[in-house]
Amino acid sequence: MRHALTAALLATSMFCLPTAARAQAMTADEAAQLRAELAALKAQVQTLETRLDAATAQPTPAPAPAPVPPSVTAKPATEIGWKGAPELNTADGWSFKPRGRVQLDMASVDAPAGVTGIRGGLATEFRRVYLGVDGKIPGGFAYRVEADLANGEVELTDVYLSYGKGPLTVTAGQIKPFWGLDDMTSDLFTSFMERAAFVQAFGFERRVGLSAQYKGKALLLQGGVFGDNAADLTDSNHSLGLDARAVFMPKLGDAQLHLGGSVHWRDPNDPAALGRYRARPFVHTTDVRLVDTGLLDVASELGTGAEGAVLAGPFHAAGEAYWHRVRRIGGTTPTFFGGYAELGMVLTPGDARGYKDGAFDRLKPSRPITAGGPGAFEINARYDHLDLNSAGIRGGRQQAALIGLVWVPIEYIRITANYGKLWIDDARVATATGDRDYTADTFGLRTQIDF
């Protein structure tokens, strides 16, 4: 375009020259004038070309904007985990998890004729069917609401609200009043299908109250003031109980040590209060109690317990002793006794019984059947003793040798088989021949799932 413009301007200048100049030869002056005009035209052309270049030049491209880094994905409002059941957690501290357990028992008691009748024969029952929820609330609060629906009845179990930041926790609601090792261990993780006979005999149960717990690295302190079980609270129920427990639980190398003691005092605040101390023969499928004090008037109760355990690799040993003193309104003051000693071993390599916060905990197989392993196997043996003879009261004496096998194919399923040999003296229930000293055998099988 620049060359076309130059040629056009030169042609125009040529046409502008005088006609005479084109028809005849130019003089020297005319030639000089022509050269000057041509020089002027050339300068004009250069000026025009410069302007034209500036007008038609391509604009300098703007620098590309710096790449914007991808935005960081915001933390989801709710996270869903899995601990046997879905667990929902929010970023601001809320959590919610359904919980439950099902225990199906098949058991029998073999006793002399006339003792149990058909009620000691093979029977099946849903021992526990728990359903509930638990979770956390922002600010350090936690909650649990749970009920037992077994056998068509609804009974509240744990129902509480707790607050705790750091080692101290305060709880209001229905919980266990810190009885001892065997009772504070969840029924999901006990060595046998039923707890020690003294736990049954002396009325260990959940009660409504206010409690506090301090948990340090090796020290556990628990205490509270309690009324009665939620099912027994009425306008006429004014019972009051004080319960305290202390546990020293240091680690000695790879071994876990457990040493503890507890004190329990209860006043029914009722001049007509009655108590009854008795125990089933280590199966729950029968209502027959071979040892039983019958009804006694009760002014107050005082219980003291000692407990100890050690866990070292696959081995564990545990034992408890408990003295239960009953102050009566119009009679003697008996002191009943119960206790046990236990040894156990996990048979599968790499597995060990769990322990947490002053109680036995879940047995977790390192090679569950879902990973091609055998699950976890544990064998336990226990001597159990309950003496309800004291101060002229003949409730009977029961001794038992128990052996149990536990199989945990996966973490949340547990199968337990028990056998027990019982020696009964001064039994509440006599044989068909009137004998109150005899032996009995118990068998039991439990299938359990929890979430």
Q: Are 415 and 406 in contact (CB under 8 A)?
A: yes
Average pLDDT over residues 271-297: 95
Chain-wide mean pLDDT for the chain? 90
pLDDT digits (tens, 9 = 90+) for 96-133: 999 999 999 999 999 999 999 888 999 999 999 999 99
Q: Label residue 150 left, alpha or beta by phi (over 0 means left) and psi (-120 to 50 means alpha).
A: beta
Per-residue pLDDT at 25: 58
**What pLDDT, on a 0 to 100 scale, did the predictor assign at position 435?**
97
Q: Give tens-digit pLDDT for 13-32.
A: 444 444 443 445 567 777 67
pLDDT at 10: 42
d(CA 33, CA 24): 16
3-state secondary structure of 85: coil
CB 416 within 8 A of CB 192: yes
pLDDT in tens, 194-244: 999 999 999 999 999 999 999 999 999 999 999 999 998 887 788 999 999
Q: What CA–CA distance (Å, rounded) separates 260 from 61?
A: 82
Overall average pLDDT of the 67-95 stretch: 78
Query: 387-436, pLDDT tens digit by residue?
Result: 999 999 999 999 999 999 999 999 999 999 999 999 999 999 999 999 99
Q: Which two tokens stand for residue 276?
A: 């009854």
133: closest CA among 170, 169, 181, 99? Answer: 99
> For the chain, give me the number of helices (H) and strands (E)?
5, 23
Q: Residue 188's pLDDT is what? A: 98
Strand partners, 318: 309, 342
Which pairs count as long-range contacts for 117-123, CB under 8 Å and 24+ apart, including other chains?
119/286, 119/287, 119/288, 120/286, 120/288, 123/285, 123/286
> What percentage of the chain reaches a pLDDT higher than 90?
77
Predicted confidence (pLDDT) per residue in 351-389, tens digit: 999 999 999 999 999 999 999 999 999 999 999 999 999
